Structure 1
């Protein structure tokens, strides 16, 4: 089994992929510098899977310092065609509370100062990608069907608002995002999704809600300890969900 069936980019709380067997590590050099770390490739549930920890295996990279271009290029270089981005997020919508799992279908980009395109490289072809639907519809449906097969509750659809980080947002910022139509807030959804589109990769997001965003829950203050506890509970379901995905 040599073909790569799936690539997974792990977010906060997912620094290795449980159940990956017969693994090999790849340190890849890209035209855009180093990726966040080694890509670990192995067998999982009858698939050949590549895994990359977005923040590094020791969570040493804040969201605005992640080399998104190198990460996507490295996975593409290994032969990835389907990429699942696992993202820790805050919930804005009332039904997207801690430990919820969401497969969003839209996003709004509030980030700044990041390398957002491969077109930034000198001499590169300028591509005006169609980004009206930022996530690949067929891969979103595969995730939803896999969750149903695995008996895992997920929410279909929602708008992911990508903020700069690494700080959490103010109540006023979340109120603005809510007015804009955002249902979730995270720090790593962009430019990852757009870069995947530029490389013609199928890409979808599996958003794990770690906490209610500022002003959306009952908490006076968001506890980092509670965030990681909720995140661990949601993350524990990811391997079982992905195991139910069809092979590419």
Structure 2
């Protein structure tokens, strides 16, 4: 009974407040001159399960995953770029590796780039270099891709994108040795990153866009 009375009083008080507000506020507010132009909005968006399905956030996979690019080829190259340089076209690391994708000078020569300054100053050239190098590596590793994709080496599922990412890190020759030794010959770069790390981190991206090309070169014009 007491509970019902309290509920009734709350309703009555609410009605009284609304009547009072409408009585004293007789002016009509003109919103025609109000604008949201230039305001910054913050949104809370629930995860899209169709996008993030299959990403294991318990390991490092999610750190290289873009919810917008997904597992596409663009997602693949941007994930590598983020790991290599944070996406910085102008950076040179402590070992002299260059640009967004951290190319060595000898690798650049193989794909037709000899002018380092021009390379660093030209983002479009760097993007072309990434594709040319990946095409060349895909040709060199074509037999290993056919043989090992779908198998596990060092507990990591081998995928084409993992192989190509590892080749970007260590060179196609080192990846051959890794796969054919079933993970015993696990190259590590100067910072301690191994082929196995890259095989796992960049697994499952769509790299079908890349066509194997033994003579892949960059047009520097």
TM-score above 0.5, yes or no:
no
Instruction: Choose between structure 1 and 2: higher strand proportion.
Output: 1
Higher relative contact order (CA 8 A, sep 6+): 1
TM-score of the pair, normalised by structure 2: 0.25
TM-score of the pair, normalised by structure 1: 0.23
Flag the structure with larger Rg: 2
